Amino acid sequence: MISVKKIVITGAAGQDGLILGLKLVAAGHKVVGIVRSADQKAFLESYNPAVKSEILDSSTLTSVREFLEKNQPDQIYHLSAKSSVANSWSDSENTLQTNIFHTLNWLNALNELKMHSTRFYHASSSEMFGLPKSHPQTEETLLHPRSPYGVSKVAAHHLVVNYRESFGQFASTGILFNHESPLRDIKFVTRKISQAVAEIARGKRDSLTLGNIEISRDWGWAPDYVDGMISILEHDSPDDFILATGESRTLKEFAATAFQSVGIEDWEKYLTIDSALVRPADVISVVGNSHKARQMLKWSPAVSFESMVKRMVDFDLELIDTGEMNRSWKPE
Sign of the dihedral through C-alpha 128, 130, 136, 140: negative
Catalytic residue among 125, 147, 194, 248: 125
In tens, the pLDDT along 208-217 reads 999 999 999 9
Res 2 pLDDT > 80: no
Catalytic residue among 58, 83, 121, 127: 127
Q: Across the chain, how many H-helices and E-strands are there?
A: 12, 13
In tens, the pLDDT along 40-95 reads 999 999 999 999 999 999 999 999 999 999 999 999 999 999 988 888 989 999 99
The arithmetic mean of pLDDT across residues 279-301, rounded, is 93
Question: Could you tell me the fold of the domain covering 184-217+248-283+304-322?
Answer: UDP-galactose 4-epimerase; domain 1 (3.90.25)
Q: Which CATH number fits domain 6-179+219-243: 1.10.760.10, 3.40.50.620, 3.40.1180.10, 3.40.50.720?
A: 3.40.50.720
Res 1 pLDDT > 70: no
Confidence category of residue 299, pLDDT binned at 50, 70, 90: very high
Q: Taking a C-beta distance cutoff of 8 angstroms, is the pair 144, 131 a contact? A: yes
Encoded amino acid at 83, one letter: S
Is 66 one of the catalytic residues? no
Is 80 one of the catalytic residues? no
Rounded distance between C-alpha atoms, residue 240 and residue 200, angstroms? 42
In tens, the pLDDT along 146-198 reads 999 999 999 999 999 999 999 999 999 999 999 999 999 999 999 999 999 99
Rounded distance between C-alpha atoms, residue 185 and residue 173, angstroms? 24
The residue ranges of every structural domain in the chain are: 6-179+219-243, 184-217+248-283+304-322
Catalytic residue among 121, 149, 163, 225: 149
Model-level pTM? 0.96
Rounded distance between C-alpha atoms, residue 214 and residue 47, angstroms? 36
Is 125 one of the catalytic residues? yes
Residues above pLDDT 90, as percent of the chain: 92
| Cβ-proximal residues to 200 (8 Å cutoff; 6+ apart), any chain | 206, 207, 208, 259, 264, 270
Looking at residue 14, the DSSP 8-state letter turns out to be: S
